Amino acid sequence: MASANPWDPASAPNGAGLLLSHFVASGMITQKNLEIELLKLAKDTADVVHPFFLAQKCHILQSM
């Protein structure tokens, strides 16, 4: 028996999906709010993956 594909949107929703859909339906969370939160997260973590900042951190660690 094949297991359900977790990446398939037609799969049965999990607990997080059900909770999120409840919040969206009640108006507590909007698509715009979620997009803004994602942009804030991307901004806050941009230095983690940017090569310039990675090179600086690597240099600092090597000089210790």
Range of the domain at 38: 15-62
Please give the tally of structural domains in the chain: 1
Dihedral through CA 57, CA 35, CA 24, CA 26, nearest 10?
100
**4 within a domain of the structure (yes/no):** no
How far is the CA of 8 from the CAs of 12, 17, 51, 53, in angstroms? 9, 13, 33, 36
**6 within a domain of the structure (yes/no):** no
Among left, alpha and beta (phi > 0; psi -120 to 50; other), residue 8 is beta
**5 within a domain of the structure (yes/no):** no
**52 within a domain of the structure (yes/no):** yes
**8 within a domain of the structure (yes/no):** no
pLDDT tens track for 21-60? 898 899 988 989 989 999 999 888 877 777 888 888 889 9
pTM here? 0.48
**9 within a domain of the structure (yes/no):** no
**30 within a domain of the structure (yes/no):** yes
